[in-house]
Chains A and B, each alone.
Chain A
Amino acid sequence: MSTKTVYNFMLRLLTSKELAFIFRLYIGGLFVYASLYKINYAVEFAETIANYQLVPYWAVNFLAVTMPWLELICGLMLIIGFRAKAVTVIIGGMMVMFTVALVINVIQDTPISCGCFSTSDELIGWHTVLRDVIWLGMIVHIYYFDRMFHLENRFLALLRRI
């Protein structure tokens, strides 16, 4: 097997829609899972947001109430494939936001836990940043290569046949 063949195989694998579908389910599930705890413990989540010291004090509670729901709704829509592209953009936006917040706090050496899934997470550090960057990469992959098993594809395919 020549290097070129291996390269082509890897390229096909990495740009495959099947991989994007797997990523889509994973990221969607991740967001749904992350949202469930936060929805039920809004007070704790508000503390987590406050710990990052980036959101003005008058917006903390509002964000603590709405953001978990945004995660849940986007996660579900991503899994079923309804307006997946827009949802991917929103999820990507949130992930960028989280990553930036993490980076700032890691640089400032703030002694807080991530709070990503629950309040008792491990402390933030460069490994949490790396984890977020990997997830962000998956989201970018979904944006460009995902087109399998979308709920709205049935409808769109029907339209295209007319």
Chain B
Amino acid sequence: MVQNSDAERSAVPERDKELREREYQAYQLRLLNEYLRELFFLEDRGEIAEQFLLMCMGAVGTDKALLLVFDEQEESALHYRGFNDFRVQRLREDAFVQAQQHLARDDRDNELLPKQILVISTNEQEAARDSRLPWPEDSCFIVRWNLDSGCFGYLVLGPKLDGSIYFDLDRDFLLQLSQVLMDSLQMVRSREEIHRLNADLMSKNQELSQTIEELQKSHETISILQRTRDRLHGLIHSEAARLERVSAWDFVFIVAVTLIISLLYNTTSPGGVSLTPATWSLPEPEMIDTDRAAEIYEQDGAVFVDARPNQFFEQEKIRDAVNLPSNLFDFIYMMHFAQLDPEKKIIVYGRNISRRYDETVAFELEERGHERVLVMPGGLGEWKAKGMPVAP
């Protein structure tokens, strides 16, 4: 019975202790829960670190906490609360130099595995003995965490305010918190990677759209050039085809050249001729119509002169007419007219559409002193029509 009550007596503090531990654990879990919820919205490494420090301090009940973060992608950072500034500055210098060496080292011995956490000390004595870094005074609980070979750090906590040691519960909880810290940092890294990739993608997109725009412009230029080329091509070909055809300008050109050269040559050449008919410059001869001439012919009152060229005269003439063509005028005049009485009436005929032989010869005769020279413009045609005699 006594034994039983002893057992019961000793069981009561055991239960109390267990109860307290459960409450403590529950408190820590609430904190963890809260911390996780807050972390979810944080994107900045600094804020995450600060939040982490506060959480650690709250969880174990200490006013001194320090977090070192080394990252090869980011600048290394140191966050602390409660520790002496001077000692912390020393720690910072040494730690950063060491971290630089560590990060630069190719062969990384004694490396922790990714996501591994190493507890370096849990009390002040252990912390003082550790020579890794010049830990500040009052360092008590020291943990090294390792996200991966490129990102690692230390968590340092001072003594608990209630003077108690760090229990296993504290230790476990701090390890859990450190795990969460590493997860958060990894998440930030992932987010940053995503941002970076996105930005990359955006710039690539921009480049792409610029390229597309340029391509479009080039395409337009090419099509304009192509159209221009086609037009030129068509123009040249139609021009070539046009050149092959006969054009009115050809005639204009040839006629103009002919006129210029021929008229120039005619003015300068000694064999040139007057462009107007010679008879235009002669005085108007006295005319006689065919009826009157026929009367005179029947009275034998005049000499009839045929002024046409000889071959026409040979073909047909007024009977008894004398041929006196202007090109043989002097010769024939000498033969037939030199002795003719200047008072004798002379009737000259012979003209056609192209020549007025009669007027020329009449003028020549008047020049020789014959006073009664008459021109019969009706000619051989009217003569024959009146039934007057002709000779072959």
Which residue numbers of A lie inside 8 Å of B, CB to CB? Answer: 39-43, 46-47, 49-58, 60-62, 64-66, 68-70, 73-74, 77, 83, 85-87, 89-90, 111-112, 152, 156, 159-160, 162
* Chain A residue with Cβ nearest B262: A69
Q: Which residues of A contact B356 (CB under 8 A)?
A: 57
Q: Is the contact region of chain B dominated by helix, strand, or loop, or is it mixed?
A: helix
CB-CB < 8 A to A60: which residues of B? 277, 354-355
In the assembled complex, the Cα of A156 lies from the Cα of B242 at a distance in Å of: 10
Q: Is the CB of B258 within 8 A of A73?
A: yes
Interface contact A57-B271, CB-CB below 8 Å: no
A66 and B314 contact, CB distance less than 8 A: no
Name the interface residues of B247-285: CB closer than 8 Å to any CB of A.
247, 250-251, 253-255, 257-259, 261-263, 265-266, 269, 271-277, 279-280
Within 8 Å CB of A111, what residues of B? 311-312, 314-315
B240 contacts which of A65, A74, A159 (Cβ < 8 Å)? A159
- Do A86 and B251 form a contact, CB below 8 Å, given A60-B355, A61-B274, A64-B273? yes
Which residue from B237, B247, B271 sits with its C-beta under 8 Å from A42?
B271
CB-CB under 8 A for A86 and B247, given A58-B277, A69-B261: yes
CA distance in complex: A90, B248 (Å): 11
A-B contact pairs, 6 of them (CB 8 A): A46-B273, A66-B262, A85-B245, A86-B250, A87-B254, A160-B240
A62 close to B275 (CB less than 8 A): yes
- Decide: B354 and A83 in contact? CB cutoff 8 A: no
Q: A42-B272, A57-B277, A112-B311 are in contact. List 8 more A-B contacts (CB 8 A).
A: A39-B265, A58-B280, A65-B263, A65-B266, A70-B255, A83-B250, A87-B254, A159-B240
Interface membership of B93, Cβ < 8 A = no
B271 lies within 8 A of A55 (CB): no
- Would you call B354 and A49 a contact (CB within 8 A)? yes
CB of B352 within 8 Å of the partner chain: yes
B309 at the interface (CB under 8 A from A): yes
* A86 and B8 alpha carbons, distance in the complex (Å): 142
Hey, which chain A residues are within 8 Å of B243, CB to CB? 152, 156, 159
Complex: A152 Cα to B274 Cα, angstroms? 38
B236 touches A159 (CB 8 A): yes
User: Is there contact, CB below 8 Å, between B353 and A55?
Assistant: yes
Determine the distance from Cα of A90 to Cα of B256 in the docked complex, in whole angstroms.
13
From A65, A89, A90, A162, contact of B273 by CB (8 A): A65
Cβ-closest chain B residue relative to A41: B271
Known: A39-B265, A61-B274, A69-B261. A90 touches B254 (CB 8 A): yes
With beta carbons under 8 angstroms apart, the residue of B251, B259, B315, B353 that contacts A66 is B259
Q: How many angstroms from the CA of A15 to the CA of B329 in the assembled complex?
A: 55
Contact between B353 and A57 (Cβ–Cβ < 8 Å)? yes
- Given A43-B271, A61-B273, A61-B275, are A69 and B354 also a contact pair (CB < 8 Å)? no
**Chain B residues within 8 Å of A56, by CB:** 353-354
Inter-subunit contact B246/A89 (CB<8 Å) = yes
- Which residue of chain B is the closest to A160 with respect to CB atoms? B240
**Chain A, residue nearest B314 (CB):** A111
Of the candidates A43, A47, A62, the one having the most CB atoms from chain B within 10 angstroms of its own CB is A62
In the bound complex, residues from chain B placing their C-beta under 8 Å from that of A47 are 309, 327
- Residues in chain B near residue A40, CB distance under 8 A: 269, 271
* Residue B239 is within 8 A (CB to CB) of chain A in the complex: yes
Q: Tell me if B106 counts as interface (CB < 8 A to partner A).
A: no
From known contacts A65-B262, A68-B262, infer whether A57 and B273 are also in contact, taking CB-CB under 8 Å.
Answer: no
Please name all residues of chain B whose beta carbon is closer than 8 Å to the beta carbon of A156 when the two chains form the complex: 240, 243-244
A residues within 8 A CB of B309?
Answer: 47, 51
- Shortest distance between the CB of B294 and any CB in chain A (Å): 24
Does chain A have a CB within 8 A of B195? no
User: How far does the Cβ of A92 sit from chain B's closest Cβ, in whole Å?
Assistant: 11
Shortest beta-carbon distance from A111 to chain B in Å: 4
State in angstroms the CA–CA spacing of A77 and B263 once bound together. 20
What 7 pairs across the A-B complex have the smallest Cβ distances?
A86-B250, A69-B262, A50-B354, A111-B311, A159-B240, A50-B355, A66-B262
A112 CA / B314 CA spacing, docked (Å): 12
| CB proximity of A119 to chain B, nearest CB, Å | 11
How far, in whole Å, are A159 and B277 apart by their CA atoms in the complex? 50
B233 within 8 A of A: yes
The CA of A56 and the CA of B352, in the complex, are separated in Å by 9
Residues on A with C-beta less than 8 A from B275 are 61-62, 65
Contact assessment for A160 and B237 in the assembled complex, using a CB-CB cutoff below 8 Å:
yes
In the assembled complex, the Cα of A160 lies from the Cα of B236 at a distance in Å of 7
Q: Which of B236, B254, B272 contacts A86 (CB 8 A)?
A: B254
Q: Which residue of B lies closest to A147 (CB)?
A: B244
Closest Cβ neighbor of A60 among chain B residues? B354
Q: Please determine whether B276 and A58 come into contact, CB atoms closer than 8 angstroms.
A: yes
Contact B246 A85 (CB under 8 A): yes
**Which B283-322 residues have C-beta < 8 A from chain A?**
309, 311-312, 314-315
Q: Which residues of B contact A58 (CB under 8 A)?
A: 276-277, 280
Q: What is the CA–CA distance of A61 and B274 in the complex, to the nearest angstrom?
A: 7
Residues on A with beta carbons closer than 8 Å to the beta carbon of B327: 47
